[in-house]
Chains A and B, each alone.
Chain A
Amino acid sequence: MYILGLSCFYHDSSAALLRDGKIVAAAEEERFTRKKHDSSFPLSAINYCLSSQGITINDIAYIGFYEKPFLKFERLLSQYLETFPKGLWSFVSTLPIWFSQKLRLIKIVRKKLKYKGSVLFVPHHLAHAASAFLISPFQKAAILTIDGVGEWSTTTYGIGEENEIKLLKHLAFPHSLGLLYSAITAYLGFRVNNCEYKVMGLSAYGESDKDKNQYYKKLKNTIDIKADGSFCLDMDYFSYCFAQKMPSKKLCQLLGLPIRKASEELTQSHKDIAAALQTITEEVIMKIINHLHKEVACENLVLAGGVALNSVCNGKILKNAPFKNIWIQPNASDGGTSIGAISYIYNSLLGNARNYQMEDAFLGPSFSNEEIKTFLDKEKISYQFLGDSELVEIGAKLIFENKIIGWFQGRMEWGPRALGNRSILANPLNPEMKDILNSRIKHRESFRPFAPAVCEESVSTYFECDSPLPEAARYMLLVYPIKEAWRSDLPAVTHFDGTGRLQAVNKDRNPLFYRLIEEFKALSGFSVILNTSFNTNNEPIVCTPSEAWNCAKRAGLNYLAIGNFLIKLDEK
């Protein structure tokens, strides 16, 4: 039985395919259309999913959609009713899209896919919860979902057992940790639904002591947090109920600065605001998680929703809460709900026992050596064809010699992180590498850190991490402090506050990348390689060999390892 999952019309459209309980393909639309965070109907991702299994739309038993659109529309109308007449412009500009797209999903599915079968609508936070629990390593777990907003819910918690999910409590719109984070992201001059992780990175440069950070107290005025972690925002400080601009004038007055323009310099005040926001976010999440542990007698925790991508907070959870194990789906944000919808239909609605556990994020398209060779020959690109052993040996040597390599192997990653299949790799020991990559290669802000990819067995050597190491560390979802002794040895992957967004590389799930790191260790003494996504600023991660080649040229990479082909590029 095949079930197709869809998430679209908000941000990060995606499609995922389940075959007899197992997720066999999943990808985000942006990777095919090359529009970052593409929210359109995911036709290309659907075509990829179907062709990866050699099936047609007629083989699909159910399509699962990631939300209930009419409920969402009801919430939207409530916003306009509550905030009349301030929402006039938003009403006039938003509603046409609802009538032409969002409320016509079934018609669009029938027309674009020629699909005649059943379409099921899974509530948004249930889809998040399913995407976290049903494919997790746990048979029983407490579930927490936190995002911007679904239909009405912004935060839910509950319990998952075997193939059942029960959501117990929720917080409703407009009180949302995700939207608070987005509002401050907008206030700091970054793009909403795109740059929240930049604010998280920026927070390391701000004052982390809440008694000394003047913005912490100010921001606390905007939110009432109860002992059980439930919270309520004072909506005088936010205008997202009726306008596109999220922070209100009152918020600007409170913080004493105007909304920063993207081109303006980041001052210490901006950094302190980011730190205050991060502190409040962590406070709320820790309170909720501790409350959840009291409500649900269980030692396992799964997280989903956009806020679950806050890896700085995630890395602190097991240290500050009584849960023993944690799991987070690599695509925890809305893109990942297509997987949640299909898992929920197969396991919970159709009553099938769970027979799949996600152990890696490699669910996207792959290209054989023959396909790559055809492309290279057609473009008259000269290359060396190497066996696996030679490739990792030479690759590691080049990285050790401070060359920057595009590493394109196997199936594309699911979710926002490049995990060694569509990656740019570099030497973490080089103190200048961070600046070189930020300014010359990726053309992005100088404060942004790079992630260390580490062989799973060596993680505890370098990091003050949880033990046993959670599987979520495979997906760069946990930030841990790097041990003091190694910080000066690994300057390119040590963030300003001494932490690193770890990627633990598993020998069985990503053998070639693992061997590359081992080879690098033989040369350098460190089983750590700098890993950043294979793209330039504001571009989706590459998907095909041709995109990899073009990006490598544009970014000025020194080498490109694509399948078993090694290509030397002209140096910038």
Chain B
Amino acid sequence: MKLFIKKLLNNRIVSFFIRGLKKISRGLNFIINTALLLIVYIFGVGLTWLFAKILKKHFLEMQPSKNRQTYWSDAELRGSDVSDYYRQF
């Protein structure tokens, strides 16, 4: 049985067919991913952005401020407790 499957997979027509299917699946995958991400972007990111706008909240500082004396801020202090470093955040 194993030999039969191996032979079948080695068959030119079958492998051409499999390659074609893989290409189609990659294409479909791309389309679905893009569509889902588009929805997330518009409704997830977009709505959050809208609320942030209303509340005048900024996620990044995009402009210099002449009034500030310095742009340095305190770096997050990291201790030497190993367990903190198992976390990816």
Chain A residues close to B by CB (< 8 Å): 68-71, 74, 77-82, 84-85, 87-88, 91-92, 95-96, 103, 105-106, 118-123, 125-126, 153, 156, 158, 164, 166-175, 223-224, 226, 228, 230-236, 241, 345, 348-351
Do A231 and B71 touch across chains, with their CB atoms under 8 A apart?
yes
The dominant DSSP class at the A interface is mixed
In the complex, chain A residues whose CB is within 8 Å of the CB of B89 = 68, 70-71, 74
In the complex, chain A residues whose CB is within 8 Å of the CB of B77 = 166-167
- Cβ-neighbour of B80 out of A170, A235, A348 (below 8 A): A348
- Cβ-neighbour of B71 out of A70, A81, A175, A234 (below 8 A): A175
A81 touching B48 in the complex, CB below 8 Å, given contacts A91-B41, A232-B65 = yes
Do A122 and B85 touch across chains, with their CB atoms under 8 A apart?
yes
In the complex, chain B residues whose CB is within 8 Å of the CB of A78 = 59-60
- Residue of B whose beta carbon sits closest to that of A125: B75
- Residue of A whose beta carbon sits closest to that of B63: A234
Chain B residues close to A by CB (< 8 Å): 33-34, 37-38, 41, 45-46, 48-49, 52, 58-66, 68-78, 80, 82, 85-89
Do B64 and A234 touch across chains, with their CB atoms under 8 A apart?
yes
Do B37 and A121 touch across chains, with their CB atoms under 8 A apart?
no
Q: Tell me, rounded to whole Å, the shortest Cβ–Cβ distance linking A559 to chain B.
A: 46
Q: When chains A and B are docked, how far (Å) is the Cα of A224 from the Cα of B66?
A: 8
Residue contacts A-B, CB under 8 angstroms, 29 given? A80-B41, A81-B49, A81-B59, A84-B46, A88-B38, A91-B41, A103-B88, A106-B88, A121-B86, A122-B85, A126-B78, A164-B80, A167-B77, A169-B73, A170-B72, A170-B73, A170-B74, A171-B72, A172-B61, A172-B73, A224-B64, A228-B72, A230-B71, A231-B71, A232-B63, A234-B63, A234-B64, A349-B82, A349-B85
Q: Tell me, rounded to whole Å, the shortest Cβ–Cβ distance linking B33 to chain A.
A: 6
- Residue of A whose beta carbon sits closest to that of B61: A232
Do A92 and B34 touch across chains, with their CB atoms under 8 A apart?
yes
In the complex, chain A residues whose CB is within 8 Å of the CB of B59 = 78-79, 81-82
Do A92 and B61 touch across chains, with their CB atoms under 8 A apart?
no
In the complex, chain A residues whose CB is within 8 Å of the CB of B45 = 77, 80-81, 84, 87, 91
Q: When chains A and B are docked, how far (Å) is the Cα of A350 from the Cα of B38?
A: 45
A92 touching B87 in the complex, CB below 8 Å, given contacts A170-B75, A224-B66, A350-B82 = no
In the complex, chain B residues whose CB is within 8 Å of the CB of A77 = 45
In the complex, chain A residues whose CB is within 8 Å of the CB of B46 = 84-85
The dominant DSSP class at the B interface is loop
Going nearest first, the 4 A-B pairs with the smallest beta carbon separation are A224-B64, A230-B71, A70-B89, A84-B49
A120 touching B86 in the complex, CB below 8 Å, given contacts A170-B72, A228-B70 = yes
Q: When chains A and B are docked, how far (Å) is the Cα of A172 from the Cα of B88?
A: 19
Q: Tell me, rounded to whole Å, the shortest Cβ–Cβ distance linking A52 to chain B.
A: 26
Do A70 and B88 touch across chains, with their CB atoms under 8 A apart?
yes
In the complex, chain A residues whose CB is within 8 Å of the CB of B85 = 120-122, 345, 349
- Residue of A whose beta carbon sits closest to that of B41: A91
Do B71 and A167 touch across chains, with their CB atoms under 8 A apart?
no
Q: When chains A and B are docked, how far (Å) is the Cα of A91 from the Cα of B42?
A: 11
In the complex, chain B residues whose CB is within 8 Å of the CB of A81 = 45, 48-49, 52, 59
In the complex, chain A residues whose CB is within 8 Å of the CB of B78 = 123, 126, 167
Q: Tell me, rounded to whole Å, the shortest Cβ–Cβ distance linking B19 to chain A.
A: 21
Do A226 and B74 touch across chains, with their CB atoms under 8 A apart?
no
Do A95 and B37 touch across chains, with their CB atoms under 8 A apart?
yes
In the complex, chain A residues whose CB is within 8 Å of the CB of B48 = 81
In the complex, chain A residues whose CB is within 8 Å of the CB of B76 = 123
Do B70 and A173 touch across chains, with their CB atoms under 8 A apart?
no
In the complex, chain B residues whose CB is within 8 Å of the CB of A241 = 60, 62
Q: When chains A and B are docked, how far (Å) is the Cα of A500 from the Cα of B41?
A: 50
- Residue of B whose beta carbon sits closest to that of A169: B72
Q: Tell me, rounded to whole Å, the shortest Cβ–Cβ distance linking A269 to chain B.
A: 26
Do A349 and B80 touch across chains, with their CB atoms under 8 A apart?
yes
Q: Tell me, rounded to whole Å, the shortest Cβ–Cβ distance linking A362 to chain B.
A: 30
In the complex, chain B residues whose CB is within 8 Å of the CB of A168 = 74-75
Q: When chains A and B are docked, how far (Å) is the Cα of A461 from the Cα of B51?
A: 66
Q: When chains A and B are docked, how far (Å) is the Cα of A122 from the Cα of B69?
A: 31
Do A235 and B52 touch across chains, with their CB atoms under 8 A apart?
no
In the complex, chain B residues whose CB is within 8 Å of the CB of A236 = 62-63
6 additional A-B residue pairs with CB within 8 Å, beyond A85-B46, A234-B64: A74-B89, A120-B86, A121-B88, A166-B77, A224-B64, A350-B82
Do B74 and A68 touch across chains, with their CB atoms under 8 A apart?
no
Do B75 and A156 touch across chains, with their CB atoms under 8 A apart?
yes
Q: When chains A and B are docked, how far (Å) is the Cα of A171 from the Cα of B58?
A: 17
In the complex, chain B residues whose CB is within 8 Å of the CB of A350 = 82
Q: Tell me, rounded to whole Å, the shortest Cβ–Cβ distance linking B2 to chain A.
A: 25
In the complex, chain B residues whose CB is within 8 Å of the CB of A126 = 78
Q: Tell me, rounded to whole Å, the shortest Cβ–Cβ distance linking B11 to chain A.
A: 30
Do B71 and A232 touch across chains, with their CB atoms under 8 A apart?
yes
